[in-house]
Amino acid sequence: MCVRDCPSDAIAIRKVGDKKFVAEFDLAKCIYCAQCVDSCMKKALESSKIFELASLDREKLKVTFGADPKEDSKKQII
């Protein structure tokens, strides 16, 4: 639901294995509307009061959840 409801297309869900998925958030595209938080039926997302997310490198604004750091060293894992 969050992927479909995101007005800025900042969320992607990728299948990386049998019944294994990762969620990718591109904070450079995000408009911080919290529509993804409102539409998440699993309540897996929450809004943050952190507002200083500026970066000169757009790649640092891409966050991947659920990935194994050994599989893809180029992704930022939080």
Residue 8 falls inside a structural domain: yes
At 1 the pLDDT is: 85
pLDDT at 68: 65
SS3 call for 15: strand
Residue 33 lies in a domain: yes
CATH of residue 55? 3.30.70.3270
- Whether 70 is covered by a domain: the verdict is no
Does residue 21 lie in a domain region? yes
Establish if 75 belongs to a structural domain: no
27-78 residue pLDDT tens: 899 988 999 999 988 888 888 887 777 788 888 888 888 866 555 444 443 3
Query: Do the Cβ atoms of 2 and 42 come closer than 8 Å?
Result: no
In the block, tokens 């943050």 appear at 48
Residue 42 pLDDT: 83
If one counts the domains in the chain, the total is: 1
The parent domain of residue 57 ranges over 2-65
CA distances from 54 to 2, 41, 59, 61 (A): 23, 29, 12, 9
Q: Where are the beta strands (DSSP E) in the chain?
A: 11-17, 20-26, 62-65
Q: Taking the model in full, what pTM does it have?
A: 0.69
